[in-house]
Amino acid sequence: MTAPRPEDGTGPQGPYAHGAYGADGAFVAAVDGLADPLSDPLPDPLKDPLPDPLHDPLSGQHASPWFRSESAQGDAGGGPLAYGGPEQPQGAPSEWYDPEGYRRDWYGSQQAPAPSPGPSPAPAPAPVSAPVSVAASAPVPPADETLGLRTADTRRIVAEPGERPEPSETYEPTGRFEPPEPYEPAERPERSAPAEPVTGGRAERRKAAKGRGRRPAPTAAAAGTKPAAPMSRMEARRAAKAAKDSPAVVASRAVGEIFISLGVLMLLFVTYQLWWTNVRAEQIAGKETNKIQEEWAKGAGKPGVFAPGQGFAIMHIPKLDVVVPIAEGINKEKVLDRGMLGHYGEGKLKTAMPEDEQGNFAVAGHRNTHGEPFRYVNKLSPGDPIVVETRDAYYTYEMTSVLPQTSPSNISVIEPIPVGSGFTEPGRYITLTTCTPEFTSTYRLIVWGKMVDERPRSEGKPKALVG
């Protein structure tokens, strides 16, 4: 049988031939008694403090579990410990504490040599050493450096790409580990398909560039609805025929458009009659009044026969605040629609002038629209003054009576002695005629008056115009 070699540690000169681990199975028992930091659960410094490597659980004293025979003083030992402990008995290997070696052996990946297969002597009792204070000399093992990495890896597995959470604050220098809270990933945003390259002209590239930032329209699949099946040719024809309007619908639509157009035209016509005609007539009447006054200032407009439509006098009704020119004739377009009063001076309807010694000075005017000078003539009361101004004098009349309604063909109201006025003998009278009711021309409203004053212009205005 071949003798054991000294290089494998089992010979008489090997480190395992004598000493604390020289017995058979002593080394294996010592290794099994150690705690494996890679397989055992992490210690909790609050509940399970880290084991003291210098504390012997059997004897209750501190003793290093690692022995380095190469550092002992001599083969047989006998020297004092490296950290100043008590002397070892004769024949036992001396030990010393190396912080760097302890840290490398505790956390490193060194593998202990296999025990000798041969018979080994019985394990010697562990050396007893005096209790040593390790608070100042023995360093505290550092915390596991892979703890934070394992926590980050756990988060990295749960989180989605692009949504990695902030680093957890579970790592503590004391080695205490708190499991991270379960991470609930947010809903992943829908990613649109990559845009296809545009191979058209400049206009097409611009359109494609504008449409990249817009959200694509939801498809039938995204909306949760089934795409409609394609229609046959017959179904397409029926759908197109049903989409067309029937003749009745077309006719009713045309009639509705016609009525709407007529309503708009009527509204415009009413607006023209009630508003615009008054504006236009007042402008024309004002210009005619200024023209008459300018002619009087130049010495023109002598009493006599005037042409149809020619202005020759101005009527003042102080109570109604009316100042309107009087023109020859009662032509609707040339006189009345221009906002002026017309003098009955033609044919059978010819009446007297204000300067005549006797007669009835009769005039007509609109009650509504076209300036409506006689709009409120029905509000005159007996005694209200009516002044007619001519080139040479002011003629003042007082209202005496009114005929609320008569036929348009009743010309007796403008005779020299008007019928129905209450006058019984010839005199110098005035007659005002207009339409009634308002906004119609069915009947005529008649107002009569009698001259009470004739005043030359050289003497100034009468009291009716001054007061």
Question: Are the C-beta atoms of residues 418 and 359 closer than 8 Å to each other?
Answer: no
- Comparing C-alpha atoms, which of 346, 335, 359 is closest to residue 450? 359
Give Cα separations from 428 to 120, 247, 384, 433 (angstroms).
Answer: 170, 72, 17, 17
- H-helix or E-strand containing 387? strand 385-389
Tokens of 187: 């809903």
Tell me the three-class secondary structure of 269-311, residue by residue. Answer: HHHHHHHHHHHHHHHHHHHHHHHHHHHHHHCCCCCCCCCCCCE
What amino acid is encoded at 334 in this protein? K
Catalytic residue among 366, 367, 370, 428: 366
Q: Examine the residue annotation and report whether 444 is marked as an active-site residue of this protein.
A: yes
Q: Long-range contacts made by residues 306-310, C-beta under 8 angstroms, separation at least 24?
A: 306/345, 308/334, 308/335, 308/346, 309/334, 309/335
Q: For residue 150, how many other CB atoms are within 10 A of its CB?
A: 11
Catalytic residue among 316, 343, 428, 444: 444
Q: For residue 384, how many other CB atoms are within 10 A of its CB?
A: 18
How does DSSP assign 235-267, residue by residue? HHHHHHHHHSPPHHHHHHHHHHHHHHHHHHHHH
- Comparing C-alpha atoms, which of 366, 372, 354 is closest to residue 306? 354
Q: Examine the residue annotation and report whether 55 is marked as an active-site residue of this protein.
A: no
Q: Examine the residue annotation and report whether 191 is marked as an active-site residue of this protein.
A: no
Catalytic residue among 62, 316, 338, 435: 435
- Report how far residue 71's alpha carbon sits from residue 416's, in angstroms, rounded to the nearest whole number: 163
Instruction: Tell me which DSSP letter residue 62 carries.
Output: B
Upper half-sphere CA count for residue 139 (Cβ side, 13 Å): 11
**Catalytic machinery residues:** 366, 435, 444
